Amino acid sequence: MKYWIFLVFIVFFIFENIFIEDIYMRMNHLFNSKGIYISAYYIFVTFVGFLSIAFLFFIREKFYFFLAMTLLLLSYTITLVYKQINGTGFTLNDLAIVLNEADAFALDALITYGSSIKEALLILVFVLVFIFVLRNVIVKNKMFIGIKYVIVSFVVALLLAYSVFYKTTGGTQTRPNLIKVLNTSIYYALNKLYYGEREVLEEKALLASKYQNIILVVDESIGGKYLSINSYEKETTPYLKSIENHFINLGLASSGANCSATSNLILMSGIQLEALPDKENRTLKKATIFQYAKNSGYKTHYISGQGLGLKFQNHMSKYDLKYIDNFSQLKEPYHHKSMPEEDIILETQKVLANSEKNFIFIVKHGSHFEWEDSYPKEERFFLPTLEASDALSLEKREEALNSYLNSIRYNVDLFFKYFLKEINFFDREDTLIIYTADHGQSILEDGRTSTHCDSTNPPLSQGIVPLLLFTSKEDKVFRAVDFQINSYNHYQLFPTIQKLMGYEGIKAQTLFDKVTESPSQVFVSGDIFGRVSLQRNDIQFEN
């Protein structure tokens, strides 16, 4: 029987080495960077792990055998799909995204990454055949291992692997894949984030606010480089071009992060880059932009084109509602109406009909995948495009790009055509609109089908967003500033808004501050809370 155990060990070791990760390369890297003792421990943990997987095939009891195989195949499915999408596999950051956003974007993800799912399942067909043939041989020859020994070996392997995961905060993870996926889930469950009241803000604005209405519009998945007002070769923003005297274009900016929840949290909390990773969960505890707005005499409004009812997104909780006077989300799933994002436009119009000071935080539905579903068919301008049911694939890059460009033309350019008209912006001298996006977008770059949220070495396009300031032509706050194009970032927006609301003593850099020789053009990827690695990604724009 020991020869069969050895065979299973070797087969799965080779399988994972080919399809998931080059284990030899990992070991060589550890040996060169960490030394012989740590490398030896890693090899030992990996050996015990694959041995425990081999033991699973020799379980006598059918129920436990099928349970083990189900977990094994499920873990391979998850990892192979993510490997096809982002080139790295399944991480804790991916798990967090699934748990936080699956209800909103699960169907879109299944369609968009359909080809990746099919390729993963095709690989698993061969694994299934191997399992079936091997199981028949084992049963026929009655080669079984007692369930207690199997469980003990698996638990020992799990604990050994978890020790590596915990010690390196996920920076180094051992194989086999099933143990890696289980450890990721366990680590996530044991490292819960803060959930509770926000800190009370005692500080008051001492100076007069600069605007009656401050509107922060955070679009979804808009790559700044794809706007023709930012010199993109195709005419994606003709309307904005026609009214360019009504806004200040700061060009290409860097987002706080390359993932929606993280980026929105950075904008709401005002956490600065130097305070990341946020291991103390300060972003979930400190006063938000809504609290600063209220202490400056503003009515606060949160208007979302993504959320449904009272379902919270972007790490918001019921405790944030205490500081939001008007919390408005969709009453039914998003669908196209007579105007792009009509619900947002009408709600904003209603808010501005009052005579109050208003701070409005808008989260748009925008151009989230699947792109062909994010605009009406009659708004197809760039051809050819993907079909609504098409998955992202490297063979259809032109179609994918055109679908995305059509989405931008509709959800950015046409949106503003209606939005500015309906809120009567051109007749207002008391209103500022700051427009940006939560993150950028990579379209089949570096052989990946992922569009954003890559944790490790993401394409820089995932962190490049637009930044526009809509003000009246007579505005004396921003029009007098000598801006340097392509030099700003999300981390500057919170302190900028604080200053506009009348707060003093702001230490963080604002849009008003002189750009240094090395402006901080950077976004983070990975886990903002430091439960696993957080990567800083520097961008060098041409000014």
Strand partners, 434: 216, 469
**185 and 221 inside one domain:** no
Q: Which DSSP string corresponds to 273-334?
A: GGG-S-TT-GGGTS--HHHHHHTTT-EEEEEEEEEETT---TT--GGGGGG-SEEEEESS--
Helix or strand (DSSP H, E) at 254: strand 247-254
**218 and 290 inside one domain:** yes
Domain count, the chain: 2
**12 and 141 inside one domain:** yes
Asked if residue 404 lies in contact with residue 390, where contact means CB atoms within 8 angstroms, the answer is no
Report the chain's mean pLDDT, rounded to a whole number. 92
**237 and 102 inside one domain:** no
**310 and 358 inside one domain:** yes
Choose the weakest-confidence range: 160-164, 203-207, 324-328, 419-423: 160-164
**230 and 134 inside one domain:** no
Model pTM score? 0.88
Question: Residue 335: inside a domain, yes or no?
Answer: yes
- pLDDT at residue 113, as a whole number: 75
Q: pLDDT tens for residues 277-316?
A: 999 999 999 999 999 999 999 999 999 999 989 889 999 9
Helix or strand (DSSP H, E) at 363: strand 358-363
**101 and 175 inside one domain:** yes
Q: Which domain holds residue 474?
A: 213-538
Question: Residue 204: inside a domain, yes or no?
Answer: no
**277 and 318 inside one domain:** yes
Indicate if the pLDDT at residue 543 is higher than 60: no
Q: Quick one: DSSP state of residue 478?
A: S
Question: Residue 198: inside a domain, yes or no?
Answer: no
**154 and 218 inside one domain:** no
Question: Residue 422: inside a domain, yes or no?
Answer: yes
Question: Residue 479: inside a domain, yes or no?
Answer: yes
Indicate if the pLDDT at residue 519 is higher than 60: no
Q: Which three-class secondary structure state does DSSP give residue 235?
A: coil
Question: Residue 199: inside a domain, yes or no?
Answer: no
Q: Quick one: DSSP state of residue 224?
A: G
Phi, psi of 377 (to 5 degrees): -60, -35
Token look-up 């390369």 returns 25
**158 and 265 inside one domain:** no
Q: Which of 155, 190, 225 is the last residue of a domain?
A: 190
**270 and 416 inside one domain:** yes
Q: Which of 190, 225, 252 is the last residue of a domain?
A: 190
Burial (0-12, 13-18, 19+ Cβ within 10 Å), 65: buried
**352 and 487 inside one domain:** yes
The CATH number linked to 362 is 3.40.720.10
- pLDDT at residue 106, as a whole number: 66
> What CA–CA distance (Å, rounded) separates 410 from 229?
15
